[in-house]
Structure 1
Amino acid sequence: MEERLGLSGDKLEDAFDDLLYGVRSVSGSVEGVLSHFDKRNIRFRSDRDMNRFVELYSKFSNTTRMPCNRGYTPDEMMQMTPPEERFKSLSLGPNIRKSLQTGEMDIENFRKQILTMELPSEALRFDLLKQLADIKPSAPQPEKQKKVGRNDPCPCGSGKKYKRCCGK
């Protein structure tokens, strides 16, 4: 941080204390930290430096012991959780739902993919299939017929003007 942000002394120590407090209080998202830096007029010299910071901050936050985790790090908590318990549910997003409803995506093809894909638990598969069953394809919209004007030829094919034929 000293080298990349050009911080030294008390300002460097304050920035690190803010980072540590943010991580331990669980409210220290990367966006929050970057916003906090911005408020304190701490700027990165380049996007590359900022990306490197984000990478290091993520590693730092995932390996910091937290009171809310009873002293465990987020990485340790993830390792202690059995794979089938890590993900309880998945939900189909609004774009996928819309694509399935309008027919842009084939529901049956999607169902087959869910049945064959490797998932951590059968409960997830069941949940996805249930969501898929709840999606009702929208009925095709009937094409609106162009309104016939009084002086247009009659749509019955007689050759007369509409007002003199069927439009009476």
Structure 2
Amino acid sequence: MRYTDDFYFEKNRSYYDVLSHLKKYFKGNEIQAENMADEIQSLCQFDFKMQHIVDSLEEMNVVFKSLSDMEKMISKVSELANNTRIWENNGYTPNEMAEIFGRKKNTVAPLLSTSYQGSVEKVKMPVKVGRNDPCPCGSGKKYKNCCLIQNGH
């Protein structure tokens, strides 16, 4: 019955992790930290885009001390997003949907990682065959006396 209230949301472990991390930036102002955590949870539930969350943090003057702190926050927000019940998923979380459909759970790559290195393939350039080189077709003839003539050059 709690879910019939439009403003209700489940405060799970991921929510409390985000809230705990936010308290460091609001220097003891727990109400402000909780309001920010609620807003982040709402963005995760209805229109999850990390940029919207970063913009909200900037509006509240949250300044990260280091790249590592920012990565921790992004990781916690991503964990919250993946464990938030979503209407379009019939109340399932993205992680639960991944389990149902047998897919890998969503994770966050480090910000400055080399995650794209392995996905780059080397392009093979065609080898230019000289007129007096052996023909690439394997006939044993010179290229000029074999495929060059057949190609009409």
How far, CA to CA, are the matches of 2:87 and 2:78 in structure 1? 18
Match of 2:36 in 1: 15
CA apart distance, 1:4: 4.4
1:74 aligns with 2:74: no
Question: Quick one: structure 1 residues 82 and 47, their matched pair in 2 at CA, closer, same or farther if it must change by over 3 Å?
Answer: closer
Q: Which has the higher contact order (CA 8 A, sep 6+)?
A: 2
Contact 2:85–2:92 (CA under 8 A) maintained in structure 1: yes
Structure 1 vs Structure 2: percent identity of aligned residues? 21
Q: Please say if 1:54 is aligned against 2:77.
A: no
The SS at the match of 1:10 is helix
Quote the residue 1:45 is aligned against: 65
How many angstroms apart in 1 are the aligned matches of 2:25 and 2:72? 10
Bigger Rg, structure 1 or 2: 1
Pairwise CA distance, 1:82? 4.5
Q: Secondary structure at the match of 1:37?
A: helix
For these two proteins, the number of residue pairs brought into alignment is 92
Q: Which runs of 5+ in 1 are unaligned?
A: 84-95, 108-136, 141-168
Q: Which runs of 5+ in 2 are unaligned?
A: 1-21, 104-119, 129-153
Q: Write the distance in 2 (CA, Å) between the matches of 1:7 and 1:74.
A: 32
Q: 1:40 to 1:30 in 2, by over 3 A?
A: same
Give the alignment's TM-score, normalised by structure 2: 0.50
Question: What value does the CA root-mean-square deviation take over the aligned residues?
Answer: 2.8
